[in-house]
Structure 1
Amino acid sequence: MDLPAYTKQQLALRNGQDKPQIWVAYKGFIYDMTESRLWRNGKHYEHWAGQDLTDELPDAPHTDAVFEKFVPIGKIK
């Protein structure tokens, strides 16, 4: 899969506030959560969109299988 690469600064703008898109990164891939009802306004419980959530996932009540529902739209440079 040949995906476009984005910087962490570009990812940070897709936080549901600065830009309407709601993106998060996990294990080097970027996922678009804009349509997820669990990411309203760029916030999911205590997590904010526009950042890499790889290190935060162990604290989540779910596994990384949750990302299987979403198609990666890019990767981190």
Structure 2
Amino acid sequence: MHTYSKTQLAKRNGQDRDEIWIAFEGKIYDVTNSRLWRKGTHYEHWAGQDLTEELAEAPHTAKVFERFEVIGMLET
């Protein structure tokens, strides 16, 4: 599986490129086709970044990520 840097992830924010990616617990998910992530935002969350710490404030569990394709790993 391909590894991406935080800089590469940041470019997939729904503004700079067509792809919309987010990271969670080291995995990068493609949320491009999700109606909830149109234009790279989902409520107060922004695509192109690691959302691991922000999940604690979300009204859902990590199970929500199961519906999205893992397309890579976030470089540590």
Report the TM-score, using the length of structure 1 for normalisation: 0.95
Consecutive aligned runs of 4 or more in structure 1 exceeding 3 Å deviation:
none
Determine the structure 2 residue equivalent to 1:17. 15
Distance 1:20 1:29 in 2: 19
Give % identity: 63
Determine the structure 2 residue equivalent to 1:35. 33
Q: Deviations over 1:17-68 (max 9, x none)?
A: 0111100000000000000000010000000000000000010000000011
Q: Return the offset for 1:71.
A: 1.9
Q: Give the number of aligned pairs.
A: 75
Q: Return the offset for 1:70.
A: 1.1
**Equivalent runs, 1:1-77 vs 2, <5 Å:** 3-77=1-75
* AA of the residue aligned to 2:4: Y
3-state SS in 1 of match to 2:13: coil
Distance 1:49 1:65 in 2: 18
Aligned Cα root-mean-square deviation (Å): 0.5
Give unpaired runs (5+ residues) of structure 2.
none
* AA of the residue aligned to 1:49: A
